Amino acid sequence: MGPFKDIGVERHGHVVLIEVRRPPHNFFDVALIQEIAGTLEALDEDITCRAVVLAAQGKSFCAGANFGDGSTLDKAGQRPGELNREAAVQHLYLEGNRLFRTKKPIIAAIHGAAVGGGLGLAMVADFRVTCPEARFAANFTRLGFHPGFGLTVTLPAVIGATKAALMFYTSRRINGEDAYAIGLADVLVPQDDVRAAALKLAAEIAENAPLALVSTRATMRGDLADRVRRATEHELVEQTRLRKTDDFKEGIKATAERRVPHFNGR
């Protein structure tokens, strides 16, 4: 593994910590997802690794993709000189699907915001450890957009279809306590203890037989990676269509200006 550009990797016995290092908000792109995926795939071949913790530096766990302020978007919802956005996002989703195909249990240590695609990244994990200060949001409709990163599969699978729809339709942010109450998070601790608690849970998992862990996890997750792949294909179609709308441009602009958007359905 390595050398690494945007992540750090630390070993803690049979647990490996992967830390995203793009503070303060850890916005992702294809390169970052590839780096995480490549590391997880390498750890699948490492018999000394039995569980993984995914954490991040900075203020946020991951604030998703960086859309900017929307002022330079053209009629197709792309920035000047930007490569074909649909192809780029398709590539991102294909690389993201690699995360769901890895074999070792993953615990996400969410100390801050997990928003949009950042929530999608958090949902790759088997379990989420968080704190009251954290914020979780599937804020796509507030951007005039469609959910992505497989969230239309992963979020309902964890919290149920109705609660997932509520998060999608309202774009509301929920704190760590509410996330724990609805099952979106599995462990709730003070903010300073999030990473340690995630490592503790990973160590408890790593005490068990590694072959049995991988086998049981494969059974429990089933065809999740295939379902996410199919979901992202549909999500991309809808995102490409909505990216061309005035509502999308208004959603991005309003978010950048920290105001309530004024949508017109066009």
* 234-250: pLDDT as tens digits: 999 999 999 999 999 99
Whole-angstrom distance, CA of residue 62 vs CA of residue 35: 15
Residue 81 lies in a domain: yes
Whole-angstrom distance, CA of residue 55 vs CA of residue 173: 20
pLDDT at residue 79 is higher than 70 = no
Whole-angstrom distance, CA of residue 146 vs CA of residue 238: 6
CA 186 from centroid of its chain's CA atoms: 16
For the chain, the farthest-separated pair of C-alpha atoms sits apart, in whole angstroms, at 56
In the structure, what pLDDT confidence band is assigned to residue 262 with cuts at 50, 70 and 90? very high
pLDDT at residue 72 is higher than 60 = no
Residue 262 lies in a domain: no
pLDDT at residue 85 is higher than 90 = no
Residue 104 lies in a domain: yes
Residue 198 lies in a domain: no
Helix, strand or coil, per DSSP, at residue 9: strand
Residue 2 lies in a domain: no
* 140-166: pLDDT as tens digits: 999 999 999 999 999 999 999 999 999
Residue 70, pLDDT score: 47
* 41-66: pLDDT as tens digits: 999 999 999 999 999 999 999 999 87
Q: How far is CA 261 from CA 140, 168, 253, 254, 265, in A?
A: 13, 16, 8, 5, 12
* 90-134: pLDDT as tens digits: 899 999 999 999 999 999 999 999 999 999 999 999 999 999 999
Asked if 106 and 221 touch (Cβ cutoff 8 Å), the reply is no
Number of neighbouring beta carbons within 10 Å of residue 38:
16
Count of domains for the chain:
1
Higher-pLDDT residue of 84 and 206 is: 206
Q: Comparing 61-70, 159-168, 198-207, which segment has the lowest mean pLDDT?
A: 61-70
Whole-angstrom distance, CA of residue 252 vs CA of residue 107: 31
Residue 160, pLDDT score: 98
Residue 65, pLDDT score: 81
Residue type, 39: T
Residues 6+ away with beta carbon under 8 Å from 107: 51, 52, 53, 54, 125, 126, 127, 128, 129, 198, 201, 202, 205
Residue 76 lies in a domain: yes
Angle (nearest 5°) at CA 259 between 258 and 262? 140
The runs of H, that is alpha helices, within the chain are: 30-44, 85-100, 117-122, 151-159, 161-170, 176-181, 194-206, 210-221, 224-243, 246-256
Residue 7, beta-bridge partner list: 20
In the structure, what pLDDT confidence band is assigned to residue 67 with cuts at 50, 70 and 90? low
Residue 56 lies in a domain: yes
CA 28 from centroid of its chain's CA atoms: 9
pLDDT at residue 212 is higher than 90 = yes
Residue 68, pLDDT score: 60
Residue 59 lies in a domain: yes
* 15-36: pLDDT as tens digits: 999 999 999 999 999 999 999 9
Query: Which CATH number covers residue 166?
Result: 3.90.226.10
Domain that holds residue 112: 7-193+206-256
Angle (nearest 5°) at CA 110 between 106 and 116? 95
In the structure, what pLDDT confidence band is assigned to residue 38 with cuts at 50, 70 and 90? very high
Residue 190, pLDDT score: 98
Whole-angstrom distance, CA of residue 237 vs CA of residue 235: 6
In the structure, what pLDDT confidence band is assigned to residue 137 with cuts at 50, 70 and 90? very high
Number of neighbouring beta carbons within 10 Å of residue 2:
11
Task: Specify the pTM.
Answer: 0.92
